[in-house]
Amino acid sequence: MPAKMPKPAGRRVVKYDDRNAYVELIRQDLYDRKQIAASSSQTLQFFKNLSGSTLLDTNMTTDGMLPTPQAFSVYGISCFVEQGIPEADLVKLINEASVEFKLSNKPYLQAPFHQIPAAGGLSGFASTTKNDTTIFQAQNGMPSPTLFLPLDIEGDPIHLVSQQDFVVVLTTHNTAAFSQAFYVTFHLVGVLYRPVL
């Protein structure tokens, strides 16, 4: 019978299950970026269809789930909208879109897009001496990695286990088309459980 692996040291290392496997905990969001088309109403699935993605697009490696023995505790959700898009397109997205977070096809969040704060972006102000200069830069809320819509209940997060299907669905309900295509990135804010070795 093989010898049991000794428990690695540190508060961030925990026994994962009865297979004598240990995982470490790191503060790491799961994120996924998709492009909204220059069209009217559409539905995009985030954390799915990862083929051809780079690290700029996502840090997921398996389509719609975490590989064994990874797991994730979801404390909240946020969304970054590509900077520099026309004001009318951003307003249309904020006013006319909805978001769902589903775990094993069961909704854990259904909300209008305007409830989801930004995960980052430009902020501040600019000054100019020209009378005809128009400066526009906005975001869905104060851009900060510490701002997100909480999904935990009194500190108890939603826990994603290995091989469990999950998805964030963005639906735009606009009848008038967006003027251009642009990217949107959803972040699941939380703690990642990953192999020690």
pTM of the model: 0.84
What local confidence, expressed as pLDDT, does residue 7 receive? 46
d(CA 68, CA 59): 16
**Under a CB-based contact definition with an 8 Å cutoff, are residues 70 and 123 in contact?**
no
What three-state secondary structure class fits 91?
A: helix
Assign 13 to helix, strand or coil. Answer: strand
pLDDT, mean over the chain:
86
For 27-87, the three-class secondary structure string (H helix, E strand, C coil) is ECCEEEEEEECCCCCEEEEECCCCCCCCCCCECCCCCCCCCCCCEEEEEEEEEEECCCCCH
pLDDT in tens, 108-139: 999 999 999 987 776 655 556 666 655 555 66
pLDDT tens sequence across 27-52: 999 999 999 999 999 999 999 999 99
